[in-house]
Structure 1
Amino acid sequence: MKATIWHNPKCGTSRNTLAILEERGDVDVEVIRYLDNPPTREKLAQLFADAGMTPAQGLRLRGTDAQERGLPDADADAVLDAMVADPILIERPLVETEKGVRLCRPKEKVEEIL
């Protein structure tokens, strides 16, 4: 099975989720450091749709200025635009497999798509 993780190595939850993926012998892991290589607007929209989430539900509030910018109450287009312009606003880690997409908070959520 192939799994893609949008990863921030400074984030403990992201590191722990990556460790779960790497410890399994049956997962080919692609690691994307999304702060260096952010997803496109279209990819973000697809990830959130496949996870059954709105962009606002995938918005990182802690350590960002999302609240001050009014993003939690903004429409999906505004949130996606902000995430593309400033990828620190994307909550992490997002993991995609052939079984779906999960925002892996807590890290055990990744098991749902393995």
Structure 2
Amino acid sequence: MKATIWHNPACGTSRKTLAILEETPGVEVTVVEYLKQPYTAGKLEQLFKSAGIGARDALRLRGTDAEERGLKDADEATIIAAMAANPAYVERPFVETDKGARLCRPQDKVHEIL
């Protein structure tokens, strides 16, 4: 099975999720450091749809100025545009396999798509 993780090496949850993927037999992992290779708006839309969540559910407020910028109450298109422009606004980590996508907070959510 192939799995892609949108990873932030500075994040403990992201590191734990990556470890689960690497320790699972038969999983071929692709790591995308999204702060270096930002999401496109289209990819964000696809991940959110596959995960069954909205952009607001994936908006990272802690450690960002997203709330001060009014993103907490913004519409989906505005949030996605802001996330594409500043990937730090995206909560982490996202993992995608052929079984779907998940925002893996907590990291054990990754098991739902393995």
How high is the TM-score relative to the length of structure 1? 0.99
- Matched with 2:90 is 90
Poorly superposed stretches of 4+, deviation over 4 Å: none
C-alpha RMSD of matched pairs (Å): 0.5
Whether 1:108 aligns to 2:99 is: no
Unaligned runs of 5+ residues in structure 1 are: none
Separation in structure 2 between the aligned mates of residue 39 and residue 27 of structure 1, nearest angstrom: 23
Deviations 1:17-64 (A, max 9, x none): 000000012100000000000111100000001100001110001100
Q: Which residue of 2 aligns with 1:23?
A: 23
SS of residue in 1 equivalent to 2:22:
helix
Query: Following the alignment from structure 1 to structure 2, what is the Cα–Cα distance between the partners of residues 103 and 29?
Result: 16
Residue 71 of structure 1 corresponds to which residue in structure 2? 71
For 2:104 and 2:19, locate their aligned partners in 1 and report how far apart those are by CA, in whole Å: 12
1:67 aligned partner, one-letter code: E
What is the percentage of aligned positions where both structures have the same residue?
63
Residue 4 of structure 2 aligns to a residue whose secondary structure is strand
